[in-house]
């Protein structure tokens, strides 16, 4: 569950300067939103992601990274890497895992900021995430130019795949996850995320 805790309005540039070093924080239409992983500046407590969430994030990142690195395709980033989904409305989201090709972000020194949308975003549902908020994030990512968004739900052991052409797919532990749109040849058993 996300909770808005600051009423100050920030631009994307101001947000990145002030919170660029933080995890668990996003900018939604100019307002700072803490995603439950950091203490609220105004007091109160949030639930931190469960151990299961961290394990599933790692397994997803490891699967994508192994394929991307082996095939020398691009960059993989984790841990709430900022993705600007709408500069005009001042919205920045934090992806659990993302992949961006060398075509969009050429090889070289690792930049501080991601200027282009990644081809793939993976979000792992936290116990505090509401589906309505996740669907909103999925739409924002796709509208920003992300080709495929994968949502992994550790509680139901399902994977939902959303594509920029409107196609949706729900996979169970018996299915393989393939993403030919952005990673041709990539396949991983969905069960691998939950074992």
Helix (H, G, I), strand (E, B) or coil at 139: helix
Does any domain span residue 127? yes
- Which of 80-89, 138-147, 183-192 has the least mean pLDDT? 80-89
Does any domain span residue 30? no
Domain extent at residue 96: 49-193
Instruction: Tell me how crowded residue 20 is: count the other CB atoms within 10 A of its CB.
Output: 12
122 beta partners? 97, 150
Q: Are 94 and 81 in contact (CB under 8 A)?
A: yes
Tokens of 114: 């991601």
Does any domain span residue 141? yes
Q: Residue 173's pLDDT is what?
A: 96
Tokens of 63: 């699967």
Does any domain span residue 104? yes
Task: Return d(Cα 49, Cα 45) in angstroms, integer.
Answer: 13
Strands 3-9 and 31-34: antiparallel
Does any domain span residue 167? yes
Q: What is the CATH number of the domain that holds 79?
A: 3.90.1570.10
pLDDT tens digits for range 122-161 = 999 987 788 888 999 999 999 999 999 999 999 999 999 9
Task: Return d(Cα 146, Cα 45) in angstroms, integer.
Answer: 33
Q: Which pLDDT band holds residue 20 (cuts at 50, 70, 90)? A: low
Helix (H, G, I), strand (E, B) or coil at 55: helix
Q: Are 10 and 22 in contact (CB under 8 A)?
A: no
Does any domain span residue 158? yes
Task: Give the number of domains in the chain.
Answer: 1
């Amino acid at each position: 569950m996300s909770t808005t805790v600051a009423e100050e309005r920030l631009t994307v540039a101001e947000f990145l300067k002030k919170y660029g070093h933080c995890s668990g924080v996003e900018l939604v239409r100019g307002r700072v939103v803490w995603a439950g992983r950091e203490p609220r500046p105004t007091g109160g407590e949030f639930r931190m992601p469960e151990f299961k969430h961290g394990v599933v994030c790692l397994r997803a990142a490891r699967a994508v990274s192994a394929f991307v690195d082996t095939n020398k395709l691009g960059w993989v980033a984790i841990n709430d890497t900022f993705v600007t989904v709408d500069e005009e409305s001042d919205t920045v989201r934090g992806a659990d895992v993302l992949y961006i090709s060398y075509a969009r972000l050429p090889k070289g020194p690792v930049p501080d900021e991601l200027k282009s949308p990644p081809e793939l975003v993976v979000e792992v549902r936290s116990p505090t995430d509401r589906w309505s908020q996740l669907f909103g994030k999925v739409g924002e990512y796709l509208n920003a130019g992300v080709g495929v968004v994968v949502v992994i739900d550790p509680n139901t052991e399902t994977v939902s795949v959303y594509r920029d052409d409107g196609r949706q797919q729900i996979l169970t532990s018996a299915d393989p996850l393939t993403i030919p749109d952005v990673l041709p040849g990539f396949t991983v058993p969905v069960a691998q995320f939950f074992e």
